Amino acid sequence: MAEDLLHKKQFPPYAAKKGEAYMNTKQLGHFRSILESLKEELQEDIDRTVHTMQDEATVFADPNDRASQESDIALELRNRDRERKLIKKIEEAIARIDSGDYGYCNSCGVEIGLKRLEARPTATLCIDCKELEERREKQMAK
């Protein structure tokens, strides 16, 4: 979902210059603009869904039509709930930019990396810690 929005807005990947400090002002500004744009786009989708659902609130006499409409509404609400959770993650990422913690792993403190942040701007873990977390989750599910 977020990746689709990144491509929709056409954010070019940040090209770091040789010797450039990690998470300098330009990089933080780049990621802030991505995050704010994602948040705005998601908020517009949520607002549009609310208006659409209010406009399409028709009562069908046929039980099949009513069931189909309720199924569509339930699916739409699930998608919007996911987007609401993503907005919360985006707000947390923006707060990390403000506090100076953005771009560093919450678990081990190493740099997450520009490429990973380009792919997932809300990332809080470096790739190694994320893989370890996923392995633990997989083992716990067994």
Q: Which of 89, 133, 105 is nearest to 1 (CA)?
A: 89
pLDDT digits (tens, 9 = 90+) for 45-70: 888 887 777 666 666 778 888 888 88
Burial (CB count within 10 angstroms: exposed 0-12, middle 13-18, buried 19+), residue 43: middle
CA distances for 36 relative to 28, 57, 97, angstroms:
12, 32, 12
Contact 34, 121 (CB under 8 A): yes
Residue count of the chain, please give it.
142
The greatest distance separating any two alpha carbons of the chain, rounded to the nearest whole angstrom, comes to: 68
Structural class in CATH, domain 2-7+22-141: mainly alpha
* pLDDT higher than 50, residue 30: yes
The pTM of the full predicted model, rounded to 2 decimals, is: 0.81
Tell me: the pLDDT tens digits for 76-109?
Answer: 889 889 999 999 999 999 999 999 999 999 999 9
H-state helical runs in 58-126: 63-99, 114-119
Token readout for 65 is 């039509």
Burial of 87 (0-12, 13-18, 19+ CB in 10 A): middle
pLDDT at 15 over 70: yes
**Rounded to whole angstroms, how far apart are CA atoms 120 and 73?**
28
Q: What is the mean pLDDT of residues 35-41?
A: 95
